[in-house]
């Protein structure tokens, strides 16, 4: 009888291991200062974005890097003591180092409960806070959650079972990742620069705002862009 119980236990453990998601953390992540706030303030940050950036369509399955770029800058500017950064989560097939493996292996995308199920990557603002004796990395991602969530829990909901996610945390100034000719993330590169050796910044936010507004309204209208660009810049003053 004990042999059968042990066998059932081992089979169950093996099944769980096969169905569980795996997370790999990059050694090239940036060091981010701890924000001098608690979890209730983190909740306020989430609500602030909903109120002050109504032109962002969080139901859009694309343009997450541009949304995150705007959000991270606004939060840090308007909340003293807050230090924002971005977490980039990549599906395993999206990494250049895994490209040869996935020539013969099926892609498994990142997938959200909101219906976005073809993501090669996803990015959102983060902040690091102290809670009691622990330090937690909190993700602020209106596209996938209704409140700030711990990094591991956020990532595990997006990585499908049997797959693996690759996590790297970068300074908020980076609005896109370095990629190769096949649009694969160059995960072995420490510096985030383009082919001209220029940093992947969008310092004046014009690229990010243009992409977000186009997703929101479905067309390019100069007056609308100027209006929201002015509103956005006022939040940064």
Single out the residue of 210, 207, 209 nearest to residue 194, CA to CA.
207
pLDDT digits (tens, 9 = 90+) for 148-160: 999 999 999 999 9
Q: Say if residue 11's pLDDT is above 70.
A: no
Using CA of residue 127, residue 131, residue 133, residue 139, what is the dihedral sign?
negative
Report in angstroms the alpha-carbon separations of 92 from 24, 115, 177, 184, 196.
9, 20, 15, 10, 27
In terms of pTM, does the model score above 0.75?
yes
How many CB atoms are located within 10 Å of the residue 136 CB?
18
pLDDT digits (tens, 9 = 90+) for 124-141: 999 999 888 889 999 999
Q: Which of 114-123, 171-180, 224-233 has the lowest mean pLDDT?
A: 224-233
pLDDT band at 16; cut points 50, 70, 90: very low
Q: What is the rounded CA–CA span in Å between residue 84 and residue 99? A: 31
Domains of the chain listed by start with CATH number: 21-235 (3.10.620.30)
CA triple 9-11-16, angle to 5 deg: 95
Q: Do 86 and 96 touch, CB atoms closer than 8 A?
A: no
């Amino acid at each position: 009888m004990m042999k059968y119980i042990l066998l059932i236990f081992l089979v169950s453990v093996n099944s769980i291991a096969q169905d569980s998601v795996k997370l790999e953390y990059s050694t090239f992540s940036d060091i981010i200062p701890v924000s001098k706030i608690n979890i209730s303030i983190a909740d306020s940050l989430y609500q602030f974005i909903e109120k002050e950036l109504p032109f962002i369509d969080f139901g859009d399955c694309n343009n997450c890097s541009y949304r995150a770029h705007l959000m991270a800058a606004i939060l840090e500017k308007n909340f003293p003591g807050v230090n924002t950064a971005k977490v980039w989560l990549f599906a395993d097939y999206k990494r250049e180092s895994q490209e040869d493996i996935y020539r013969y292996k099926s892609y498994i995308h990142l997938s959200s409960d909101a219906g976005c199920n073809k993501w090669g990557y996803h990015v959102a603002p983060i902040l690091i806070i102290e809670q009691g004796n622990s330090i937690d990395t909190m993700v602020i991602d209106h596209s996938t959650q209704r409140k700030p969530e711990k990094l591991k829990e956020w990532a595990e909901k997006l990585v499908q079972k049997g797959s693996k996610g690759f996590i790297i945390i970068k300074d908020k100034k980076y609005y896109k990742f370095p990629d190769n000719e096949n649009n694969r993330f160059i995960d072995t590169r420490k510096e985030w620069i383009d082919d001209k050796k220029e940093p992947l910044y969008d310092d004046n936010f014009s690229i990010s705002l243009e992409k977000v507004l186009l997703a929101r309204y479905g067309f390019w209208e100069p007056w609308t862009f100027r209006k929201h660009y002015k509103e956005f810049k006022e939040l940064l003053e």
